[in-house]
Amino acid sequence: MSINCIRTLIEDANVSHPEKIAIKFNEKEINYKDLLKKVNQIAFYLSELNLPKGSRIGIYSTKSIEQVIAILGILSTDYVLVPLTRLLKPEQVEYIIKDCDIKCIITDRLKLESIEEINFDGQIISYETTHKDIASFEEIFKYYNKPYSCTINGHDNAVITYSFGLTGTPKGIVISHRNLIDSARVVSSYLDLKEDDVISGTLIFNLDYGLNQIFCSLYKRATLALHRFILAGDFFNHLINDEVTVVPLMPINISSMFDEDEHKLPSADLLAKVRVLTSSGGNVTHKMLNDLDKYFPDAKFYSMHGLTEAFRSTYLEPSQIWIRPDSIGKPIPDVELYVLNEEGKECKPREIGELIHRGGYIYKGYWNAPVETSERFKSIQILKDVINLEGQLTDEIVVATGDYVYKDEEGYFYFVSRHDDMIKTRGFRVSPFEIESVVAKNFPMVEQCAIFSIANEEIEEEIVMVYSARSEIASKEIVFELKKHLASYMIPNKIIYKKSLPLVPSDKSKINKEELKQELLKDN
């Protein structure tokens, strides 16, 4: 078996730290010995399904210890994990199932009803015993006790995560086993994670940043303390009661943490065990930094910038947070970053260009999407005017990120904008096209619809819907219908009616979103 896979971490932890708590969630906990046993039982059962090698298995459930066991169980087979965030609606799940041909779904009692709404004829496994025709973890743990061993290659596909591509439909990014363990190694290194750390498992496990919580815990033989972030008070109780030392967050989590009256927040003394805070997935505002500094004065805060096509590009050293809070930092270990202008030349300091990522942590490409893959994954020839390619192999792949940035005189990078019009809100990337498509399908009375975003410090960007129709539709009615088809983070924050929408002068088939945005900002 390859040393470049997460499976080796589970086996090694069982040898070196069998009795140590691996995962805890509220009153439940499991040590490394029992974790390996249960992972093996699930992996053994999955292997007995006799699905073709590389078959995709989805996980569509709420957070639990069983969910982590399911993730590690799939990664202990030659199948491929497809995380399906519980925020997705059944029709969105159905799209992903069809797109990557999911053969089996692991779920819980709460989400089983949603799956039953979907036309899915594959295997279903539930954590709890629910129906005689559906296998459950409870039954597997009771009856599957045979030895299990596996062979995994580091270059094999391990995970397909879904985000929104240039066309507006979800595109799966393919991640190898080597990618997963490399990401655990590098994060554990630059965050200086330790064996006695308790890492907060607050982020959902739908994308690489969330999954990395699990893998870093395994890599360092640390403890993962799971938590479902719903209320700020419960989150702080989680940090205190679980004695958390490392807290991965997104900006939306940070703003939600401090959305309570000050007298309801704990004192800094109660949070003193936290020594590392991290954030990725959006901008961190000065208010967020001030709040973190007030309640976690001794914790080091790392701001990080990742990509859809590569695990991570940059991080900002904690010592630089107050010196250059708007910077996304410098390259992480084993990564080279370049800023190119339209002629392919390297930009001068403070000249804006496209960020090119070279080196480690690059994923394999988009699933069944050659056009999207070719737009982002480029030959190293793109850097021919920047680096010396003499004597080098020229089939190396780099990522043309679509992020427009600049670099200052000291080598720190600053994010400016995205090449496409993706909306980033609450840590998610949202395609205006998908929302517009749902409106077109479910509101035949709407003549024109434009979805765009405006800045909002609390959630980075808020979604705006402007539409035209013969008569105005009640906003509550629009929201009610959209909630049936879209995840909660995709619902517009503002809905505006206009008798007609402006068109782009050079293309009368396109709505002039920029004009609409400027009108809105002017009115505000």
DSSP letters, 49-93, are T-PPTT-EEEEE---SHHHHHHHHHHTTTTSEEEE--TTS-HHHH
Same-domain pairing of 381 and 363: yes
* Residue 487 lies in domain: 423-523
Same-domain pairing of 137 and 69: yes
Q: How would residue 476 be classed by pLDDT, with cut points 50, 70 and 90?
A: very high
Same-domain pairing of 165 and 56: yes
Three-state secondary structure call for residue 217: helix
Q: To the nearest 10°, the Cα dihedral for 16, 19, 24, 29?
A: 150
Q: Are 200 and 25 in contact (CB under 8 A)?
A: no
d(CA 360, CA 332): 9
Q: How would residue 91 be classed by pLDDT, with cut points 50, 70 and 90?
A: confident
Number of domains in the chain: 3
Last residue of a domain, one of 393, 418, 443: 418
Same-domain pairing of 353 and 398: yes
Same-domain pairing of 154 and 40: yes
pLDDT at 165 over 70: no
- pLDDT for position 164: 46
Mean pLDDT of the chain: 92
| Residues paired with residue 414 on neighbouring β-strands, in sequence order | 406
pLDDT tens digits, residue range 459-468? 889 999 999 9
Residues found in the chain: 524
d(CA 399, CA 378): 6
Max Cα-Cα span within the chain: 70
Last residue of a domain, one of 386, 418, 450: 418
Three-state secondary structure call for residue 112: helix
d(CA 69, CA 75): 10
DSSP of 219-247: HHT-EEEE---S-HHHHHHHHHHTT--EE
Place of tokens 């394999």: 364
User: What HEC string does 116-129 produce?
Assistant: HCCCCCCEEEECCC
pLDDT at 127 over 60: yes
- pLDDT for position 88: 81
Residue 516 tokens, joined = 């609409």
Same-domain pairing of 34 and 89: yes
Q: What is the arithmetic mean of pLDDT over 50-67?
A: 96
- pLDDT for position 131: 83
pLDDT at 386 over 90: yes
Same-domain pairing of 444 and 475: yes
Q: How would residue 166 be classed by pLDDT, with cut points 50, 70 and 90?
A: very low
Same-domain pairing of 50 and 167: yes
pLDDT tens digits, residue range 423-436? 888 888 787 878 98
pLDDT at 418 over 80: no
pLDDT at 159 over 70: yes
Place of tokens 């998908």: 434
> Measured between alpha carbons, how far is residue 31 from residues 15, 42, 67, 301 in Å?
12, 17, 15, 29
Read off the DSSP letter of residue 130. -
Query: Residue 102 is part of a domain; what is its CATH number?
Result: 3.40.50.980
pLDDT at 270 over 90: yes
Helix spans in 348-471 (H)? 370-376, 432-442
Same-domain pairing of 340 and 431: no
- pLDDT for position 281: 80
Same-domain pairing of 399 and 438: no
DSSP of 461-479: EEEEEEEEESSPPPHHHHH
- pLDDT for position 157: 97
For residue 135, count other CB atoms closer than 10 A to its CB: 18
d(CA 47, CA 144): 12
pLDDT at 506 over 60: no
Q: Is 228 exposed, middle or buried (0-12, 13-18, 19+ CB in 10 A)?
A: middle
Last residue of a domain, one of 134, 153, 176: 176
Q: What is the arithmetic mean of pLDDT over 407-411?
A: 97
pLDDT at 71 over 60: yes
Q: Are 22 and 35 in contact (CB under 8 A)?
A: yes
Q: What is the arithmetic mean of pLDDT over 214-223?
A: 98
d(CA 62, CA 246): 22
Same-domain pairing of 398 and 456: no
| Residues paired with residue 260 on neighbouring β-strands, in sequence order | none
pLDDT at 502 over 50: yes
Half-sphere exposure at residue 479, Cβ-oriented, CA atoms within 13 angstroms: 13
For residue 399, count other CB atoms closer than 10 A to its CB: 23
The answer to the question of residue 290 being in a domain is no
d(CA 152, CA 75): 9
The answer to the question of residue 32 being in a domain is yes
Residue 197 tokens, joined = 């750390």
The answer to the question of residue 256 being in a domain is no
Q: How would residue 255 be classed by pLDDT, with cut points 50, 70 and 90?
A: confident
Query: Amino acid identity of 450?
Result: A
Same-domain pairing of 152 and 18: yes
pLDDT tens digits, residue range 317-372? 999 999 999 899 999 999 999 999 989 999 999 998 999 999 999 999 999 999 99
